[in-house]
Amino acid sequence: MISSVVRASLLRRVVGIRAQSTWTQVKMGPPDAILGITEAFKRDTDPRKMNLGVGAYRTDAGSPFVLDSVTQAENQLLHEKLDKEYLPITGLPQFTRAAAQLAYGSSSPVLDRLAITQSISGTGALRIGGAFVQRFCEGTPTVYVPGPSWGNHKAVFGDCGLTVKPYRYYDAKTRGLDLEGMLEDLSNLPRGQIVLLHACAHNPTGVDPTPDQWARIQSVVEENGHVAFFDMAYQGFATGDTDRDAHALRTFVEAGRAPVVLAQSFAKNMGLYGERVGTFSVVGASRDERARLESQLKILVRPMYSNPPVHGARIAARVLTDPELRSLWLSEVKLMADRIIGMRVALRSRLEKLGSSVAWNHITDQIGMFCFTGLTAAQVDRLAQEFHIYLTRDGRVSMAGITSANVDYLADSIHAVTQ
Amino acid sequence: YFDNVPQAPADGILQLSVLSKADSNSRKVDLGVGAYRDDNGKPWVLPVVRKAEQQLAQEAGDHEYLGVGGLPALTNGAQKLIFGADSAAIREQRVYSIQTISGTGANMVGAVFLKQFKQPTDAAVYISKPTWGNHRNIFETAGHEVREYRYCNYSTLGLDIDGMLSDLRAAPRGQIIVLHACAHNPTGIDPTAEQWAQIADVMQERAHFPFFDCAYQGFATGNVDRDAYAIRLFVERGFELFVCESFAKNMGLYGERTGCLHAVVASSARVAAVSSQMNRLSRATISTASAYGAKIAGKVLQDPELYNEWIENMELMSARIMDMRTQLRARLEKLGTPGDWSHVTSQIGMFSFTGLNLAQVERLRTEFHMYLTNDGRISVAGLNTGNIDYVAMAIDNVVRN
């Protein structure tokens, strides 16, 4: 080994060179908005504090909810002492088959021409989908996302080299859907763009189109030759019924006029968050096309991560295919959805009881994990500083953070800052 | 709508696996598999991993999201494992570690980061000739130009150190050099300590950036410190570098996809910016990495009892592999098979470059139901006491005829 003196001087020289040349141009990345809220919430010592930025379901006791169906599946699997061999590139076949049936309907005629791959939950599915459209859609189309949409959509598609633009969606005046604005925007686009649609339980607004509104959206997408890119992260979580929540997706697919691709997540509806369970799929025109599409999905996945994680996929496959576990799971999904709906009702009714001059019907009109309250940034800041209630400055509340113990406090606080 | 989407070529190694699986011959030998097998040719889940899983089940944890950096028990443990618990780089807080989807995911995050931030901006990525099949794929997909440096001396089946040093010296300054930390895949040829020093000298001279890929720490020699020698040498020399670390083989976690990317930077002041950008780009690909495998690995790395048991399990695997190498060489020499077979035992790790040519490989497949990749690479893990005589005989046959 070289002497420590020589080593030290080499070190100084190399370190000096390195400190200059390699990373000096790396700027600090943008702060994460949601992380900021979590940090502030953690620092707060007030016993009444509420974290309404949380993106994961919480029980009425404010705890994470590990589904019983999931735990049972996990225990069964542990008992079976399976190996940990690599999955195929496109993942666990029992899982992707069952996931496809759940999304598209078990008797859907497209199942045998569906190209599907397991993915790193919803984000991974979007990433594969973005890479797929970037490579195979004619004319390098732009991805259009609703205004507003989940913050990470722009980052994921942007990193695929795609341009991301908004279409009108949320109407701040009504706190509902700006349907005419949306239809106008989608009609005015060049043909063949990628239209990202939240299948149900829109994030962050909770504003979903009605079936009639979906029909009109579908016509416009089809007439303009756009690709319908569905993001379904809350199937079952919106209405409590997995078939109902998949209605928009299935209607598009059944019509067969617009190309459909789907990013599917089991993070929320199975509580599998950190296990990263999801799929990306493309509805093909034929079995032959499916084979071609699947071969290309494999090409996209291999350099990203080779093959997906096995544990969560095994759990999901077991839950979906074991009749008892599936039945239990569906009841637990309904339980989660019902608790959220219950909190919406409780929040709205308390606000109305307090004699608020503001209209709060949107709290129960909106659906799913999130509620766009309509609170201004200033009001949100007051809620944090004066009432120890933390939410994102766009006024989005995560309903999962509300419990029967704190819903009244929340209503009272919102009332205080909106009078 | 997707009429224009062509059928993509099938993955070579997967194809081999398909052919092998379809073969029903009783003497079939699969030497293409890139995973450890026990002496019965079966996958082996490490006993310490089963133990950790039982503990996790009893703790009845949840499935909540990990932070974007990953599970601290894993990333902190992995840092100490690869750089050494007494590493100056760790002490000086000059290391950022992010959990990734195993080794491939680590390579990908590193490749994408470098595309955005490498200096000079036109620096190419140099890979060894040959290297793991996915390296070129990953770096080209990330948008880099990929070039090769000489590595394998195909006549001696040892390291072409002169060719390697010459190529690294001839390259423009500041290129990105992918180095296998130990147990080179596919050749099994590793530089000696002296040769690593020479490589470090040239890389320092040319201001190249070391991109280490470490998929076999502990698996190569059975000793985690010895297997991390090259990485620690470069850190000691003051290089900034990346290390891709996989727990697929050494903890048998394969399909759980457990790994890390480590960035060693010149000063702790740089870590905040580098980590924020790495987090940002990882968030846009996977959001966060998978929890289960990380929890297993985290437990093993942090619990002294489990850690010691893991070392034992790893020694068992690497000892069996070394034993198979010894036995294969001995049989070939006993049979008098033409050629120098010393490389079978001088090469290290899961793989061995046999020197067999394509015609010989194909004959092994069609006549002897022995499956290995076209470049003559065998997975030593596929050898066992039950098939080693047959394998030696088959190799002897195709070499002579």
Residue A3 phi, psi (nearest 5): -65, 155
Contacts of A75 in chain B (CB under 8 A): 57
Selected residues 320-379 of chain B with any CB under 8 Å from a CB in chain A: none
- DSSP state letters, A257-295: -S-EEEEEE-TTTS--GGG-EEEEEEE-SSHHHHHHHHH
pLDDT (tens digit per residue) in B225-263: 999 999 999 999 999 999 999 999 999 999 999 999 999
Structure tokens at B138: 């990953």
B204 in contact with chain A, both atoms CB, cutoff 8 A: yes
pLDDT at A139: 82
Nearest chain A alpha carbon to B116: A26
- Of the residues A178, A185, A208, A231, only one is catalytic, namely A231
Percent of chain B at pLDDT > 90 equals 93
| The pLDDT value given to residue A77 | 98
Minimal CA separation from A310 to chain B, in Å:
5
Enumerate the residues of chain A whose CB falls inside 8 A of the CB of residue B1.
227, 259, 285
Segment holding B401, helix H or strand E: none
ipTM metric: 0.96
Residue B201 touches chain A, beta carbons under 8 Å: no
Beta-carbon separation of A70 and B63 below 8 A: yes
Report pLDDT for A28. 80
- C-alpha to C-alpha distances, A263 to A87, A230, B192, B348, nearest whole angstrom: 20, 6, 48, 42
In the predicted model, residues of chain A with pLDDT beneath 70 are 1-22, 35
B132 is catalytic: yes
DSSP conformation class of B123? P
Q: Report chain A residues whose CB lies below 8 A from the CB of B41.
A: none
Residue-level pLDDT at B283: 95
Write down the pLDDT at residue B3. 84
What number is the average pLDDT over the span B345-352?
A: 93
For position A152, what pLDDT does the model report? Answer: 94
User: Could you read off the pLDDT of B179-231 as tens digits, one per residue?
Assistant: 999 999 999 999 999 999 999 999 999 999 999 999 999 989 999 999 999 99
Number of residue pairs across A and B with CB atoms under 8 Å?
237
Q: Would you call B237 and A10 a contact, using CB atoms and an 8 Å cutoff?
A: yes
Residue type, B387: N
Residue of chain A nearest B104, judged by CA positions: A305
Selected for mutation to probe chain B from A6, A15, A26 (highest B CB count within 10 Å) is: A26
- Per-residue burial over A13-51, b = 16 or more CB atoms within 10 Å of its CB, e = otherwise: ebbeebbebbbeebeebeebeeeebbebbeebeeeebbb
Chain B residues inside the 8 Å CB shell of A139: none
A296: which chain B residues are within 8 Å (Cβ-Cβ)?
Answer: 5-6, 8
Q: What is the pLDDT of residue B353?
A: 92
Both tokens assigned to A285: 């025109």
Q: Is B3 a catalytic residue?
A: no
Is B249 marked active-site?
A: yes
Q: What pLDDT is attached to residue A38?
A: 82
Instruction: Give the B window 225-264 contacts with A, CB below 8 Å.
Output: 236-240, 248, 252-257
Task: For residue B51, give the chain A residue with the closest CA.
Answer: A78
User: Between chains, do B2 and A291 touch, taking CB under 8 Å as contact?
Assistant: no
